[in-house]
Amino acid sequence: MQKFVPSMIQNFGVRGFLLVFLFALLTPKSAGAPQNSAQPRALNLMPVPANVQPGSGSLRVDSTFSVALTGHTEPRLDGAVERFLHQLARQTGLLVNSKASNSAQATLVVHTDHASKEIQDVDEDESYILEVASSGAKLTARTPLGTLHGLQTFLQLVEVSSDGFSAPAVTIQDKPRFPWRGLMIDSARHFIPLDVIRRNLDGMEALKLNVFHWHLTDNQGFRVESKKFPKLQGMGSNGLYYTQKEVRDAIAYARDRGIRVVPELEMPGHSTAVFVGYPEIAATPGPFKIDEEWGVMDPAIDPTKEQTYKFLDELIGEMAKLFPDHYFHIGGDEVNGKAWDSNPKIQEFKKAHGYKSNEELQAYFSQRVQKLVTKHGKAAIGWDEIFVPGAPKDIVIQSWRGPDSLAAAAKQGYRGILSNGYYIDLMWSAARHYVVDPLGGAAADLTPEQKQLVLGGETTMWTEYVSGENIDSRIWPRTAAIAERFWSPPSVTDVPSMYARLDIISRRLAWVGLTHRSQYYKMLQRIAGDATPEEVAALTTFASVLEPVKDYTRGDSTSWKAITTTPLNHIVDAVPPESDAARRFGELVDKFISTSCLDDDAAQRLRAQFTAWRDNDARLRPLAQRSFLVQEAAQKSQDLSALGAMGLAVLDYIPKRQPAPDSWKAAQLAMIEQLKKPQAQLLLVPVAAVQKLVEAASTVGTCATAKP
Amino acid sequence: MQKFVPSMIQNFGVRGFLLVFLFALLTPKSAGAPQNSAQPRALNLMPVPANVQPGSGSLRVDSTFSVALTGHTEPRLDGAVERFLHQLARQTGLLVNSKASNSAQATLVVHTDHASKEIQDVDEDESYILEVASSGAKLTARTPLGTLHGLQTFLQLVEVSSDGFSAPAVTIQDKPRFPWRGLMIDSARHFIPLDVIRRNLDGMEALKLNVFHWHLTDNQGFRVESKKFPKLQGMGSNGLYYTQKEVRDAIAYARDRGIRVVPELEMPGHSTAVFVGYPEIAATPGPFKIDEEWGVMDPAIDPTKEQTYKFLDELIGEMAKLFPDHYFHIGGDEVNGKAWDSNPKIQEFKKAHGYKSNEELQAYFSQRVQKLVTKHGKAAIGWDEIFVPGAPKDIVIQSWRGPDSLAAAAKQGYRGILSNGYYIDLMWSAARHYVVDPLGGAAADLTPEQKQLVLGGETTMWTEYVSGENIDSRIWPRTAAIAERFWSPPSVTDVPSMYARLDIISRRLAWVGLTHRSQYYKMLQRIAGDATPEEVAALTTFASVLEPVKDYTRGDSTSWKAITTTPLNHIVDAVPPESDAARRFGELVDKFISTSCLDDDAAQRLRAQFTAWRDNDARLRPLAQRSFLVQEAAQKSQDLSALGAMGLAVLDYIPKRQPAPDSWKAAQLAMIEQLKKPQAQLLLVPVAAVQKLVEAASTVGTCATAKP
């Protein structure tokens, strides 16, 4: 276990300095305040580096910008510089020459000490030092991984200024808090095209994530080509799968960006797609067909047949060669046991081996599969369920259950990563994910040595209701906030700062090629059809305060069970998981209430907002009559008007500075309960903030007190 | 000359019916009026077909949609159906199976009579008949070219409706008015990457354009690989050029979409890039370097040397093989003669041959080059200047001078296409291009036989101030309006209808992959840098009423001479050539004035608009202090505020219903002259409409009359 050796960053740090500076760093710039170059600028960096020391002045970035590589060289570094310069050109519009320079006089001199491992591992040195002065910049790293990270930090530093583009003078000494910072993409429920995978790898690089966990198989599809078992993809998919060449290309693409690729083959459950072509290893008789619906399905591998292990030995062997990473994900979650219960031979097997439960039977299966993984030179990673007695010590537990589960494993010397809390398919806010810490919960009480067994975490992008068209907006920008959790010091927890920086990073990710912002408008236009510009504007206003329902509510609706055959072209598929407009509205309401509702400017802005909402439904209604995709959310549009009217009523009430009568308050709150109900899988988000206003207007001491 | 044979469309038509129906068709839908299925719907088709007969009911378009091919088959048709289904899936979000069906029960049955020519020619039959009924649809065409057009028409018919996606029942009998409907892209001034070329070919297909004229060489770069003369691209470009394989791929891509590719090699002027590697054929001594600036340059080919013709013979021979199209463009424009005047040998040559002018010398050159083109099996096309005495009868004259020039040529039996009036680099409005007709001006007086010699037209996208990043927004959507001029009956001239349909087509072109809308926002975000959301909103409001200066004003500015080394990242590069917001504002003002300023709703909307403008500069100013790209347009932002204030003053004045005093009017008009001045190559477009308001408020009989 080499991964926790002291890195060069260890000796830098005056921790006190860091905290003081971070305060300045993380305070969002006050809107409109002119920048004074004598003061430290707020840096729009995400993730926040381990240590930032501001300098004075700034480095001009113009068309003469150049980069030179010194020290260790390899083609990956040349490619990284070329991509860096290309990205710099894209984000500035400057005509930057996209070739590395030989000159020591280059604007940015990049020094890399030595190579990283041939196959990127979890214990690599990813640290770097970036020094920017008005005369030039220097990036120093032990390995190309640090170099890659430092280049991304530099790109984030470049900003438009009063006399051109520039990067502020600064010294950054940086290294990650956790060595395993992942994003899982489920290519099974909905096939995610390779160009979409690639641009998300670009996004991962921009946020310093270093593990792409590729969920390749599930009940709804087997998405990777097997040459040994061609019926896996041939019968176990709808024709959409990745060829081995495509996989190799994607792995090379990821490696160029400092990203490991960990493949997952789900077993013994979530395997229906395997059984379509190979029913002989299933616990129940076939024939099987690919699942269209979502949920925990009954079919499972038969863990009692030797034929099963022969099959898995060959398959894992083939895939272990295809995927060079040391870790091999064997799934393991959500086996309901029904298939095993229904098979008399399996019951006999359990009896013969003295297994009292299906969990014990699964443990047997896990042990045997883990041995196969070991045989093929890999270490197994899997969901909580693979943590069974006698498991090899080199496994990694990916916890969907939570940090307590990780802590329990760590106490027994097992490593783990956290995914509970990072399920971005649940449509939570960035803030809700952001507060989750891999060392939270019971893990907070671990010894320092045990804590080191918590390697980091992974966000999980399950794709029941996500396609290649809208996946970017489900992953980004929220994953950037989670990436900060994985990289930055644990003290970096300020939510307003996170949102201020997230907004800027989100815009910049568009220059990386991600479509999380642009696709939203395109999908709204589709919903709008032949709408007039006024109708499009009304739809945009409406959609801007909607969010998809949270958790797995959508899956509970019968009309949404058939995930692979139901088009994802509804408003719920277009709107981002988190409404920026609603969040900002909530902040405005909080600010207004915090002034005892005396802030006239805030009151005026609230009034304008409420008026626009009140009047919006009338503008949208003609379109709702023509477009079924608008019609299905028509009640929510009426609700938005009602909410606007209620807000105006509250604003009219507040100047009385008297507590509102109980009857009035009760009527408002009853209405609010109605407005909170989802429709077309959509929530009207600002309802909660208006509720706060109603309560403030009714409560002595907040807005129901005479002016001082 | 086979191209004017009667096509199958000839027998359809009750012209009277067409006109009556077009009136219904072209009337923009009144905003918000619910659709009554008993009435003919306004169809959002562009270009408007030759003949449209509405049916009753509509064809449901859902995930079961299928297409079958009958009659003539070829791989191009299979590919077209696959692309059609893919596009249908993109524009609806439906999970359409992207394979052609074998069944005669398919939703859309496509019948193609026979193949088109192996090399697409100017005289092909492009007609089609599309019949849509509630039970299914049928597309019939003589050739795959008609099939391709009909599929695009069907895609435009599909719309969101109250109970799903559908296509209205209709019978369309369609054929183009002109056989040559082109878009020229200049890849020389700025290199246009192939992916950008490809998506513009997709856009051309959507609008039924059929000629991609590729301007491959100019003073600033030689952009196509020559294997015989590798210094052409090697020294004559900055490394950015198309390989012969890439060219072949692009030609195949175009052919799949029914588009011919006509290459242009500019000569004898606009050839500096040739002389960098091959100074021996220049009229003046070298060395030469690629031009960075724009304009008409002095260097020219030496037309007196036999070596010149040997070089051109080989080069044209090589390129004639690479580009299969029958037409080969030899440029010919803008030779200023200075290079010839300064060369004593050329003077001697002129004297020896009795040439009195450089025009006569150029005519000699043109004749010889035209012979070379003929020798290699092609017909020459060139700018007006190639129309010289003794020119082969098969040449095509591309007129940058105007329809009179075309008419003069036609009277002598020469064919031509019009580009004058379709120079989209001039930043004109769609309406201004739309009224230009290839058979306008003197061409209107030609005999019917002479008119047939006018083959159509081409829009020209010169790229002095256009890069691959923003070219889509320079070409689209305005080129769609021009495409309608080339395709639709001459009676289709209603400008409001054009704009209503253009708005919808523009949104749909985003689904084709064009970035004309999305790139605008990305570029504004770049200009905004780390701006707050409020500042971004202020910048968006500001930019939405700006347009680039018109004609060649930008090139007159010394700071913009160096076209290839100056970044195109300014507001002027982001904003579209035509401001939709300003156009709609102008329509609102016209409507208001047309009611003698009595329309209260319009007055209220104007007041809201003026208030927003008046307050915008204060919101934008902090950003202007931080971003040089905003700062350079700061005066225009102040002007917008002044315009808003002026508008409010006029609105306040109007209720008096008295002519405004002359002094007041004079003061306003003086201010308006100030506001009209460009800054940072930007115009504040709504000034003209406010001027109308000022004048209306001052003029008895419009808004200065007591209410009736």
The string of pLDDT tens digits covering residues A313-343 is 999 999 999 999 999 999 998 889 999 999 9
What is the reported pLDDT for B701?
85
A-chain residues within 8 Å CB-CB of B292?
Answer: none
Contact A160 B629 (CB under 8 A): yes
Contact B580 A627 (CB under 8 A): no
Is B280 a catalytic site residue? no
Helix, strand, coil fractions of chain B, as percent rounded to 5:
45, 15, 40
3-state secondary structure at position B86: helix
**Residues whose CB falls within 8 Å of the CB of residue B275, separated by 6 or more in sequence, listed in order:** B281, B282, B286, B288, B299
User: Mean of the pLDDT values across residues A212-239?
Assistant: 97
* d(C-alpha B619, C-alpha B610), whole Å: 15
Which 8-state DSSP code applies to residue B105? T
Contact B522 A511 (CB under 8 A): yes
Joined together, the tokens standing for residue A185 give 């993409």
Inter-chain Cβ pairs, chain A and chain B, closer than 8 A: 141
What is the reported pLDDT for A28?
38
Among B506, B513, B494, which residue's Cα sits nearest to residue B48?
B494
B-chain residues within 8 Å CB-CB of A95?
Answer: 565-567
pLDDT digits (tens, 9 = 90+) for A241-252: 999 999 999 999
**Residues whose CB falls within 8 Å of the CB of residue B203, separated by 6 or more in sequence, listed in order:** B472, B475, B476, B479, B509, B512, B514
Residue B207 near residue B483, CB atoms below 8 Å: yes
pLDDT digits (tens, 9 = 90+) for B616-671: 999 999 999 999 999 999 999 999 999 999 999 999 999 989 888 899 999 999 99
Taking residue A664's Cβ as centre, other Cβ atoms within 10 Å add up to 16
A-chain residues within 8 Å CB-CB of B507?
Answer: 525, 528
Length of chain B: 708
3-state secondary structure at position A51: strand
What are the φ and ψ backbone dihedral angles of B428, each rounded to 5 degrees? -75, 170
> How near does any CA of chain B get to the CA of A567, in Å?
5
Q: Which residue of B has its CA nearest to A619?
A: B32
Catalytic residues of A: 334
* d(C-alpha B329, C-alpha B320), whole Å: 10
B-chain residues within 8 Å CB-CB of A503?
Answer: 533
Joined together, the tokens standing for residue A704 give 């129901």
Which segments of chain B have a pLDDT < 70?
1-41, 98, 706-708
What is the reported pLDDT for B540?
98
| Residue B32 φ/ψ region, left for φ over 0, alpha for ψ in the -120 to 50 degree band, beta for the rest | left
Contact B627 A92 (CB under 8 A): no
> How near does any CA of chain A get to the CA of B625, in Å?
6
Burial of B389 (0-12, 13-18, 19+ CB in 10 A): exposed
Catalytic annotation, pick one of B159, B293, B314, B334: B334
B-chain residues within 8 Å CB-CB of A526?
Answer: 91-93, 160, 511
> How near does any CA of chain A get to the CA of B626, in Å?
5
Beta strand B159-161 with A164-174: parallel, antiparallel or unpaired? unpaired
**Among B238, B467, B507, which would you mutate to test the A interface (most chain A Cβ atoms within 10 Å of its Cβ)?**
B507
**Residues whose CB falls within 8 Å of the CB of residue A610, separated by 6 or more in sequence, listed in order:** A643, A644, A645, A647, A648, A651
Q: Which residue of A has its CA nearest to B525?
A: A507
Contact A162 B521 (CB under 8 A): no
> How near does any CA of chain A get to the CA of B202, in Å?
17
What is the reported pLDDT for B120?
98
3-state secondary structure at position A546: strand
A-chain residues within 8 Å CB-CB of B568?
Answer: 93
Contact B159 A32 (CB under 8 A): no
B-chain residues within 8 Å CB-CB of A93?
Answer: 469, 523, 526, 567-569, 573
What is the reported pLDDT for A406?
94
* d(C-alpha B125, C-alpha B3), whole Å: 8
> How near does any CA of chain A get to the CA of B176, in Å?
25
> How near does any CA of chain B get to the CA of A398, in Å?
33
Give me Rg for the CA atoms of chain A: 27
> How near does any CA of chain B get to the CA of A668, in Å?
31
* d(C-alpha B545, C-alpha B373), whole Å: 48
* d(C-alpha A694, C-alpha A691), whole Å: 5
> How near does any CA of chain A get to the CA of B569, in Å?
5
Contact B44 A530 (CB under 8 A): yes
A-chain residues within 8 Å CB-CB of B35?
Answer: 625-626
Contact A162 B627 (CB under 8 A): yes
CA angle, B626 as apex, B622 and B627 as ends, to 5°? 115
Identity of the highest mean pLDDT range in A99-108, A425-434, B285-294: A425-434
**What does the DSSP assignment read for B29-67?**
PPTTPPP-TTSPPPP--SSPPSEEEEEEEEEEE-TT--E
Q: Which residue of B has its CA nearest to A92?
A: B526
Which 8-state DSSP code applies to residue B5? S
One-letter amino acid for residue A530 of the chain: D
B-chain residues within 8 Å CB-CB of A538?
Answer: none
What is the reported pLDDT for A706?
63
What is the reported pLDDT for B548?
98
**Percent of chain A whose predicted confidence (pLDDT) is above 70:** 94
A-chain residues within 8 Å CB-CB of B91?
Answer: 526
Place of tokens 């913009």: B560
Q: Which residue of A has its CA nearest to B164?
A: A628
pLDDT of A708 above 80: no
**Among A199, A470, A507, which would you mutate to test the B interface (most chain B Cβ atoms within 10 Å of its Cβ)?**
A507
Instruction: List A132's β-bridge partners, or say none.
Output: A137, A170
Contact A565 B628 (CB under 8 A): no
**Among B292, B502, B526, B629, which would you mutate to test the A interface (most chain A Cβ atoms within 10 Å of its Cβ)?**
B526
Q: Which residue of A has its CA nearest to B628?
A: A162
What is the reported pLDDT for A46?
98
Joined together, the tokens standing for residue B450 give 């002479």
Residue A617 near residue A638, CB atoms below 8 Å: yes
* d(C-alpha B428, C-alpha B434), whole Å: 10
* d(C-alpha B362, C-alpha A649), whole Å: 80
Contact A95 B503 (CB under 8 A): no
Residue A332 near residue A383, CB atoms below 8 Å: yes
**Residues whose CB falls within 8 Å of the CB of residue A491, separated by 6 or more in sequence, listed in order:** A18, A19, A22
**Among A196, A530, A580, which would you mutate to test the B interface (most chain B Cβ atoms within 10 Å of its Cβ)?**
A530
* d(C-alpha A326, C-alpha A309), whole Å: 21
What is the reported pLDDT for A559?
85
pLDDT digits (tens, 9 = 90+) for B459-487: 999 999 999 999 999 999 999 999 999 99
What is the reported pLDDT for B421?
97
* d(C-alpha B181, C-alpha B204), whole Å: 9
What does the CA dihedral A385, A386, A389, A395 come to, rounded to 10 degrees? -140
Taking residue B708's Cβ as centre, other Cβ atoms within 10 Å add up to 5
Q: What is the mean pLDDT of chain A?
A: 92
What is the reported pLDDT for A430?
98
Contact A94 B567 (CB under 8 A): yes
Q: Which of A95, A517, A518 sits opposite B565 (nearest CB)?
A: A95
Instruction: Assess: ipTM above 0.85.
Output: yes
What is the reported pLDDT for A65?
96
What is the reported pLDDT for B28?
38
Q: Which of B35, B162, B533 sits opposite A631 (nearest CB)?
A: B162
Q: Which residue of A has its CA nearest to B584?
A: A533
